[in-house]
Amino acid sequence: MDRVRIGILGTGNIAPLNVAAYLKHPNCDVLAVCDTREHKAREAAEQWGVPKVYTDMDAMLADPDLDAVEILTPTMLHKDHVLAALQAGKHVSVQKPIANSVRDGIEMMEAAKAAGLTLRISECNFGYPPLVKAKELIKSGVIGHPTMCRIKTVVGQTNSEFQNGLDPSGYTWRFNDQSPGGHLFDDMVHKYGTALWLFDQDITSVQAIVRQAPAFFEAPMAAIWEYERESLLGMMEVTYAPNMHIKSSFYGADEFFEIQGTDGWIWVTRGTGEMLDLAPVIVYHPDGTTTSYSNIEARWDSGFVHTSTAFIDALLAGTPDPEMTPELAIKTLQFCFAVYQASIDRSPVDPRTITDSVSPPWWPPDLSNYFEDIKNYGTK
């Protein structure tokens, strides 16, 4: 294959971030866009310079000019859409999470293997340069043997052009029983996946406490987990601060990653936002000196650019995509559901034992007192 001809299924809020690198890749042609909302499909096609517009998925998948599809539809549709694309002989990139259940994810993985086609799950964190650098530094041994991974996520308010331009209808399904969970399912899979990817180690046990917050938020949350190597542990916290402004060009959120080793530590100081005026990556060395990597590309959307580029490059080379494989996506989903299950049971859960899905006991949320719930959040 000397060129990749790709079709885009879904034109929701996140679509422009995923499509940008396809449009710029010298050996990729975005030939088609499909959305059941014809006006949205035509708007996207005009904006991206795409020649073909479809409102029916099967019609687009039947297009013999297409080699691959990028599936950007809601998570509950991933299984059906991925299976249809594979049956049509197309390579597939699909948004995270891979599916609403582990069982569905396994079926999708097995279908791709049977068809001899690429199925990869688009995970922007795996292309985000500060995290790529952190993984490179861990592997180099600069901090010795990693012993602890700490991940912090805070969600607050921002006034970015990106967030103000989001289509609210793109969130409806995230607030009801079309999803098995809320923020910890929809967004935290980025962080769950990163915790696995940074060390190439399976997680064997998870303990967690998850509280309910307004809307689809599930916070505060605190989790601790064990890796295969006994001397390596992980911990995570998620907080919701509705009255706190977060400096961000995208969503009103930010993330911080700290990897402690026997000889030093690595700190990734930003993710979605730009809260701290620090270098994106800082290393503390055994002798007490520090190295700040200030020249790393650190806008959050750069992760999407590198991830989309990697998909095309892998297809051109005829090699497995280096990003999130179905196997890793399934482990990520099991980790997510293990957090819910551990909070429900108040006892450790081995994520590898989860074969379907788990939801928090209050899901789906009651939105009838939404504004009052935000006003009173944190007082009880």
Q: What is the pLDDT of residues 14-41, one digit of tens each?
A: 999 999 999 999 999 999 999 999 999 9
Least confident of 44-48, 184-188, 320-324, 330-334: 320-324
Which tokens in the block code for residue 49? 């310079």
**CA 343 to CA 217: how far, in whole Å?**
15
- What mean pLDDT do residues 156-169 have? 94
> What are the pLDDT digits (tens) for 244-281?
999 999 999 999 999 999 999 999 999 999 999 999 99
pLDDT over 90 at 134, yes or no: yes
Percent of the chain whose pLDDT exceeds 90: 95
DSSP class per residue in 204-247: EEEEEEE---STT---SEEEEEEESSTT-EEEEEEEEEEEEE--
> What are the pLDDT digits (tens) for 39-65?
999 999 999 999 999 999 999 999 999
Instruction: Locate the DSSP E strands across 211-335.
Output: 221-227, 233-245, 253-261, 265-268, 281-284, 290-293
pLDDT over 90 at 144, yes or no: yes
Mean pLDDT rounded to a whole number for the chain: 97
- What mean pLDDT do residues 269-296 have? 97
138 near 132, Cβ under 8 Å? Answer: no
> What are the pLDDT digits (tens) for 327-369?
999 999 999 999 999 999 999 999 999 999 999 999 999 988 9
CB-based contacts of 137: which residues, under 8 Å, 6+ apart?
143, 266, 281, 283
Model pTM score? 0.97
pLDDT over 80 at 185, yes or no: yes
Q: How many CA atoms lie within 13 A of 145 on its CB side?
A: 6
* Backbone region of residue 306 per phi and psi (left: phi > 0; alpha: psi in -120 to 50; beta: other values): alpha
pLDDT over 90 at 321, yes or no: no
Domains and CATH numbers, the chain: 4-122 (3.40.50.720), 126-302+333-353 (3.30.360.10)
> What are the pLDDT digits (tens) for 59-102?
999 999 999 999 999 999 999 999 999 999 999 999 999 999 99
